[in-house]
Amino acid sequence: MAKSDMLGESLWDAYSDKVTTLMNNPEHQGELFLGEVEARGNKLIVADFGAESCGDAVRLYWEIDPKTDTIVNSKFKSFGCGTAIASSDVMTELCIGKTVQEAVKITNIDVEMALRDTPDVPAVPPQKMHCSVMAYDVIKKAAGMYLGVDSESFEEDIIVCECARVSLGTLQEVIRLNDLTTIEQITDYTKAGGFCKSCIKPGGHEAKDYYLVDILADTRREMDEEKMKAAADASESGEADFKTMTLVQQIKAVDSVIDENVRQFLIMDGGNMEVIDIKNGDENIDIYIRYLGACNGCASSSTGTLYAIESTLKEKLSKSIRVLPI
């Protein structure tokens, strides 16, 4: 079927090339049979998981070497949309070669990231992100069956949205990864809050320990704090870099800042300036300048103009700079 027959061009473009390829040509779709698996001395696990919210379902087959707990082969059957097929196929690929204990650590984020063509571009439109959550859940189901434990015992994170089975860690990571700013975006990407809505904010039919509004606010605050720290670290690094530059490099850096931020205002008043010398002291970096044209002898050249030049250089290059006109 042609792309134009399936989806509008803009929506189709929201899917990665890998997703569109695996929708039609999955590499691991199929089934494993008990007799063949046991003939190889291995154990067969068949796990089913269905998402009631969207009607999709997946059956996962694991062939496990019981001596090492290694998944030596895996197949799947998916009943649902093309994205569910692609997610299930990648999920199956990620399982092969891992021990059961390693496979259970695969998350829906790992599945979605593996479907991307490039690391920074989501593989699917937001409303299809829940398909990778289903892949995550069926892995836990299979691992629980093999190890003889409740699949929920593998849940190391707090489940915030019970309807879509979305954890606190997943929500925080999706917000960060996609720079989300609204509850609507969170719901589009994860399905959290899209059904009973109790997890969005207090006042729903079921009280929660965590709500999306608080998770979003807290995560955004942490992101802002990290950006501020990174900017401060960059500023400190820039200061150290300026002091370790050669004299020629320092003069070029100062001239570049002056050209971009100051010189046009001096020229508008009929003046200009030039850097004569730079001397690195223990506490200060002294920059000696000479005023030209109308700036030479102007009353503000030792007050307002000097302050503007020095403040700009301190901000852009180093807090240790001191400007001295001669």
Does the structure show a pLDDT above 50 at 4? no
Long-range contacts of 310-319 (CB under 8 A, 24+ apart): 312/257, 312/258, 312/261, 312/262, 313/254, 313/257, 313/258, 313/287, 316/257, 316/261, 317/238, 317/239, 317/242, 317/253, 317/254, 317/257, 318/238, 318/239, 318/242, 318/243, 318/285, 319/239
Kindly name the residue from 54, 161, 199, 295 that is annotated as catalytic.
54
Give whole-number Cα distances, 139 to 45, 96, 206, 234, 315, in Å. Answer: 11, 12, 28, 42, 53
Q: Is the dihedral of CA 159, 163, 165, 166 positive or negative?
A: negative
Does the structure show a pLDDT above 60 at 3? no
As given in the structure block, the two tokens for residue 246 are 């050669």
Whole-angstrom distance between the N-terminal and C-terminal Cα of the chain? 78
Confidence of residue 72 (pLDDT cuts 50, 70, 90): very high
Q: What is the 3-state secondary structure (H, E, C) of the chain?
A: CCHHHHCCHHHHCCCCHHHHHHHHCCCCECCCCHHHHHHCCCEEEEEEEECCCCCCEEEEEEEEECCCCEEEEEEEEEECCHHHHHHHHHHHHHHCCCEHHHHCCCCHHHHHHHCCCCCCCCCCCHHHCHHHHHHHHHHHHHHHHHHCCCHHHHCCCCEEECCCCEEHHHHHHHHHHHCCCCHHHHHHHHCCCCCCCCCCCCCCCCCCCCCHHHHHHHHHHHHHHHHHHHHHHHHHHHHHHHHHCCHHHHHHHHHHHHHHHCHHHHHHCCEEEEEEEEEECCCCEEEEEEEEECCCCCHHHHCHHHHHHHHHHHHHCCCCEEEEEC
Confidence of residue 9 (pLDDT cuts 50, 70, 90): very low
Least confident of 36-40, 89-93, 237-241: 237-241
If we measure between CA atoms, which residue out of 318, 326, 168 comes closest to residue 243? 318
Give the whole-angstrom CA distance, residue 106 versus residue 142: 12
Kindly name the residue from 131, 161, 199, 295 that is annotated as catalytic.
131
pLDDT at 226: 86
**Domain positions in the chain:** 3-224, 245-325
Does the structure show a pLDDT above 50 at 8? no
- Mean pLDDT, range 118-146, rounded to an integer: 82
pLDDT at 290: 93
Q: Is the dihedral of CA 8, 11, 16, 19 positive or negative?
A: negative
Give the whole-angstrom CA distance, residue 68 versus residue 207: 44
Does the structure show a pLDDT above 50 at 73? yes
202 compared with 228, residue with greater pLDDT: 202
Least confident of 37-46, 132-141, 192-201, 270-279: 132-141
Confidence of residue 232 (pLDDT cuts 50, 70, 90): low
Mean pLDDT rounded to a whole number for the chain:
86
- Mean pLDDT, range 257-262, rounded to an integer: 91
Tell me the range of 172-181, 200-209, 298-307 where mean pLDDT is highest.
172-181
Least confident of 10-19, 70-79, 238-247, 253-262: 238-247
Does the structure show a pLDDT above 70 at 52? no
For 3-224, the fitting CATH number among 3.40.50.620, 3.90.1010.10, 3.40.50.1220, 3.30.1300.10 is 3.90.1010.10
pLDDT at 50: 78
- Mean pLDDT, range 270-299, rounded to an integer: 90
Is position 295 annotated as part of the catalytic site? no
pLDDT at 212: 97
Is position 161 annotated as part of the catalytic site? no
pLDDT at 25: 93
Report the share of the chain in percent with pLDDT over 90. 47
245-325 has CATH 3.30.70.20 classification: no
Question: At residue 104, what are phi and psi to the nearest 5 degrees?
Answer: -70, -15
Give the whole-angstrom CA distance, residue 208 versus residue 230: 34
If we measure between CA atoms, which residue out of 243, 257, 205 comes closest to residue 321? 243
Does the structure show a pLDDT above 70 at 21? yes
- Mean pLDDT, range 225-249, rounded to an integer: 72
Least confident of 40-49, 75-84, 315-324: 75-84
Strand order across the beta sheet in which 70-79 lies = 43-50, 57-65, 70-79
Report the share of the chain in percent with pLDDT over 70. 89
195 compared with 186, residue with greater pLDDT: 186
Beta pairing, strands 43-50 & 70-79: unpaired
Does the structure show a pLDDT above 50 at 5? no
Kindly report the pTM of this predicted structure: 0.52
Does the structure show a pLDDT above 60 at 10? no
